[in-house]
Chain A
């Protein structure tokens, strides 16, 4: 149905208006997979380019930086593969993962419960909020030494630190999510004579879920930070411990391999959270 036009290019030609329904259009699904593929290709080339420049700079003579400071990608990659296949590396990362998750559930759970209570009780809110803001603006990783001295070198002190760091973003977001509701929706519920519980269950909680979830996502990353900082401060196991030991022994390729592994774990956690979020907040448009 194509023919040469004045501009010498091929354009689809319409013979009748109904032809518009028959012109082949790009397949929606196909274009979607293509977008994903393009994304991988683009990101992949950026990573590859960085690695290449890094490698070249390390191989200059004299090298751009001493190997003792920054190791080469060609050494990090084998170290990464080795770490993946070494049992005790996994055992240590498993410890960190446990600390992170237990800390996250305790901290986020507590933040949600207390946040809900504060949001629903105006007096409690007025009394508590300034204190919350004060804690919120304290760098909580600085609590690491305190928790070590309270709970010792083991898992408990790391869980405590992770939980403390998670607690606040979830609590603050729970409070603001539950209190900032659409004015007319509130009037509607009042005009329907909804009980306090009905307003909470049918209006406040669902409208707060996107905000609460944003807090949870931040908290998940914070929990991992808390666990690692705790381990760096004082511990004899965990990913932080591995990194610290390797750095002491100038095994830079191992340090970077462990960092890479941590980054991947963080990424997986984040993607999981996003999956759950999409399922849970199906009505919310800007989930991405």
Chain B
């Protein structure tokens, strides 16, 4: 687990280029993802047939994501961000284009790719700990020591003392912590988070974002985070992919040059506000 990975990561390109090109405005650059990208989306297009009508949910989506990078997909509802996440997860086959992860095409769900939803989706008949171990049970995982990993994850997500509670005994925020633990426990190489804190109140959401930033720094996993909350995306991400609707497409990919680790104070930095405004502008113009 690369604890040190992100703490030292400053992207060389952003450091050299003048300020304005912190923003990768040219989508053509993304067509050839940098060689080091671990996840690459290649000309993804998704069309749904609705009777005789056709709904283009995604058009020409090109994106390369580096190992350990935290990337957010931001956009209004209907921009296809959740659809894109399902495609990356291998749950949905794109109409055209392809997804590659760790060198091979994603055509079905894979063990190294984990998923988390807006709803906690816990099984109410299982206790916290048994919800967390569900993926290990399903996979009949034998390759590592369960108990140690479960204890580690519970520590990391701060669920100590709630191991034997049932979901209905937990608050919404706590339930999402359990869902996050369930995702982390099987040690995925790629985490896909679909508006995980979207249903929570503002205070809980902000608190959990701080937690997620800490956890993310600790685990150093490649992460794709879907949200319609710009501030949240900026706080967490190395890059923010701004998406537009009709058809769903990438408008702009914005770098977030806020140093890591991300702490509550990061929200008060000028860069934080500048980046938020930069994204707002893009969305307003579209």
Contacts and interface: CB of A to CB of B under 8 A. Distances in A.
A193 B111 contact: yes
Contacts of A39: none
A182 B123 CA distance: 10
A188 B168 contact: no
Nearest to A185: B121
A189 B138 contact: yes
B243 interface: no
Interface in B134-149: 134-135, 137-139
A191 B124 contact: no
A160 B1 CA distance: 65
B101 interface: no
Contact of A190 (B109, B114, B119, B135): B109
B272 interface: no
Given A191-B89, A193-B138, A198-B138, A203 B113 contact: no
B121 A193 contact: no
A283 interface: yes
Given A184-B121, A206-B123, A193 B115 contact: no
A187 B117 contact: yes
Contacts of B121: 182, 184-185, 188
A192 interface: yes
Most buried by B among A182, A188, A191, A203: A191
B125 A191 contact: no
Contacts of A20: none
B123 A185 contact: yes
Interface in B118-166: 119, 121, 123-125, 134-135, 137-139, 166
A282 B127 CA distance: 12
B91 interface: yes
A182 B124 CA distance: 12
B134 A202 contact: yes
B109 A192 contact: yes
Nearest to A186: B121
A145 B124 CA distance: 46
A283 B125 contact: yes
B168 A283 contact: yes
Contact of B117 (A184, A194, A282): A184
Interface residues of B, number: 24
Interface string A207-246: 0000000000000000000000000000000000000000
A140 B66 CA distance: 66
Contacts of B89: 191
Interface in B75-116: 86, 89-91, 108-109, 111, 113-115
Contacts of A193: 108-109, 111, 138-139
Contacts of A282: 125
A285 interface: yes
B66 to A, nearest CB: 23
Given A182-B121, A184-B121, A283-B124, A191 B139 contact: no
B117 A203 contact: no
A278 interface: no
B115 A187 contact: yes
A190 B123 contact: no
Contacts of A189: 138
A11 interface: no
A193 B135 CA distance: 9
Contact of A203 (B119, B123, B168): B123
A284 interface: yes
Nearest to A182: B121
B240 to A, nearest CB: 24
A188 B139 contact: no
Contacts of A185: 121, 123
B113 A191 contact: yes
Contact of B139 (A190, A192, A285): A192
Most buried by A among B109, B111, B137, B138: B138
Contacts of B124: 283-284
Contacts of B119: 182, 184
Given A187-B115, A191-B115, A192-B109, A206 B139 contact: no
Interface of A: 182, 184-185, 187-194, 198, 202-203, 206, 282-285
Given A184-B117, A191-B90, 11 more contacts: A182-B119, A184-B119, A184-B121, A185-B121, A187-B91, A188-B115, A190-B109, A192-B109, A192-B138, A194-B138, A283-B168
Across chains A and B, which 8 residue pairs bring their CB atoms closest together, nearest first? A283-B124, A184-B121, A191-B109, A192-B138, A191-B115, A184-B117, A283-B125, A194-B138
